[in-house]
């Protein structure tokens, strides 16, 4: 007889995250609202897909910042699911510490929190066994000692795990485990959380990390969402999943070459030209200006941020431009810079293509050292 279950698997929602890197409090507040919108989407997805369960693999909220009002709101969202079970394992940002909301709040009857003391939940209606490996503290250098799982072949067995896999244990004190150890436990599916980037590299073993449903920084570019998972047992075991995008905003880091631009208006025009390809009002940008500009023209970063701040939800601008020197004029000077420039131009004139590129870079680095007193060499 065929047995089939479905569920939405999510993790790392981080409700009430401070977003201190946004700088402005109004932007931080908007980002916290974004997280609520995303969580509301997740609840809607459970209902729209008629999923049997909602699995949350850690870091549902931020313990240090979350108020009772947010927890009450979360619980109200869970109530929208009716009798559908919500299975949660605490993460390192919402650990099962003494004053945890998981301990002190009266959650709805459909909410099941898997802890070190009580790591199991059996859904008798669908005969699905859940087992959780989560956090009792903010930093956990080894997985907790707890009752071993009791798997049965007539059930679908699911493990919720928040932590790291196949990393140097000394570098990652967040429930580090070896992949073979985890897979060797014998679960039909492993609902992972902790890293914010989706990873399905081990899905053939039933191991999946959906990533965070909303990105939190410029190191979390690309699509973010949740996974709709179906497990079927009919003699053998079949797993399949689909990724569902949920994010409200996207982080973009853009390098813009502004070689030769000599006015603020032209610089704004150049940046605007690039930004037309993006939805500026909705998204978050870090713009790195590169290239060489006339030494007489100085980029006014504050003015640019103010200008594009009215167009973009959030924008950072970094000036990584370098001076564009008039080499012919310098070569005619009877100065140290002039002698250096003449000698380098002579060498460049007789060099092959590969050497010429190196020498041209050396020429500019040398001039920067002479005029600016220092030089930053980058790739």
* Tens digit of each residue's pLDDT (9 = 90 or more) over 214-239: 999 999 999 999 999 999 998 889 99
Report helix, strand or coil for 346.
helix
Give pLDDT tens digits for 39-98: 999 999 999 999 999 999 999 999 999 999 999 999 999 999 999 999 999 999 999 999
In this prediction, residue 273 has a pLDDT band, given cuts at 50, 70 and 90, of: very high
pLDDT in tens, 291-317: 988 878 889 999 999 999 989 999 999
Distance of CA 330 to the CA centre of its chain: 48
Distance CA 367, CA 295 (A): 12
Nearest to 284, CA basis, from 307, 309, 259, 304: 309
Contact 60, 88 (CB under 8 A): yes
Is-contact 134 113, C-beta < 8 A? Answer: no
**Pairwise pLDDT comparison (377 vs 285), residue with the higher score:** 285
Round the average pLDDT of the chain to a whole number and report it.
91
Average the pLDDT over 338-364 and give the result: 87
Architecture of domain 3-245: 4-Layer Sandwich (3.60)
Pairwise CA distance, residues 264 & 299, whole Å: 7
Determine the average pLDDT of the residues in 19-41: 90
Instruction: With cut-offs at 50, 70 and 90, classify the pLDDT of residue 169.
Output: very low
In terms of Cα–Cα distance, which of 158, 82, 71 is closest to 119?
158
- Sequence length of the chain is 379
Per-residue confidence (pLDDT) for residue 178, from 0 to 100: 85
């Amino acid at each position: 007889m065929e047995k089939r279950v479905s569920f939405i698997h999510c993790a790392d929602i981080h409700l009430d995250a401070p977003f201190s890197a946004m700088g402005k409090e109004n932007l931080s507040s908007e980002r916290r609202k974004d997280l609520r919108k995303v969580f509301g989407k997740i609840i809607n997805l459970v209902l729209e897909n008629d999923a049997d369960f909602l699995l949350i693999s850690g870091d549902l909220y931020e313990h240090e910042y979350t108020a009772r009002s947010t927890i009450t709101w979360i619980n109200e969202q869970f109530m929208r699911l009716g009798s559908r079970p919500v299975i949660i394992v605490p993460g390192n940002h919402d650990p099962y510490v003494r004053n945890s909301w998981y301990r002190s709040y009266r959650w709805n009857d459909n909410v099941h929190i898997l802890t070190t003391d009580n790591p199991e939940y059996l859904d008798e209606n669908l005969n699905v066994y859940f087992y959780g490996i989560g956090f009792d503290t903010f930093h956990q250098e080894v997985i907790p000692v707890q009752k071993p799982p009791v798997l049965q072949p007539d059930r679908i067995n699911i493990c919720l795990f928040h932590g790291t896999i196949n990393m140097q244990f000394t570098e990652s004190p967040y429930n580090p485990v070896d992949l073979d150890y985890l897979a060797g436990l014998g679960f039909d599916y492993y609902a992972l959380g902790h890293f914010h980037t989706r990873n399905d590299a081990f899905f053939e073993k039933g191991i999946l990390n959906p990533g965070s449903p909303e990105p939190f920084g410029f190191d979390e570019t690309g699509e973010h969402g949740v996974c709709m998972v179906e497990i079927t047992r009919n003699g053998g075991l079949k797993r399949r999943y689909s990724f569902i995008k949920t994010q409200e905003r996207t982080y973009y880091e853009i390098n813009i070459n502004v070689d030769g631009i000599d006015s603020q208006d032209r610089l704004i025009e150049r940046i605007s030209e690039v930004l037309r390809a993006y939805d500026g009002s909705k998204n978050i940008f870090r713009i790195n200006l590169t290239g060489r500009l006339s030494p007489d023209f100085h980029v006014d970063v504050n003015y640019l941020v103010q200008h594009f701040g009215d167009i973009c939800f959030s924008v950072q601008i970094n000036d990584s431009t370098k001076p564009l020197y008039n080499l012919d004029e310098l070569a005619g000077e009877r100065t140290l810079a002039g002698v250096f420039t003449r000698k380098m131009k002579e060498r460049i004139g007789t060099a092959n293509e590969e050497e010429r590129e190196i020498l041209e870079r050396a020429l500019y680095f040398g001039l920067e050292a002479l005029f600016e007193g220092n030089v930053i060499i980058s790739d």
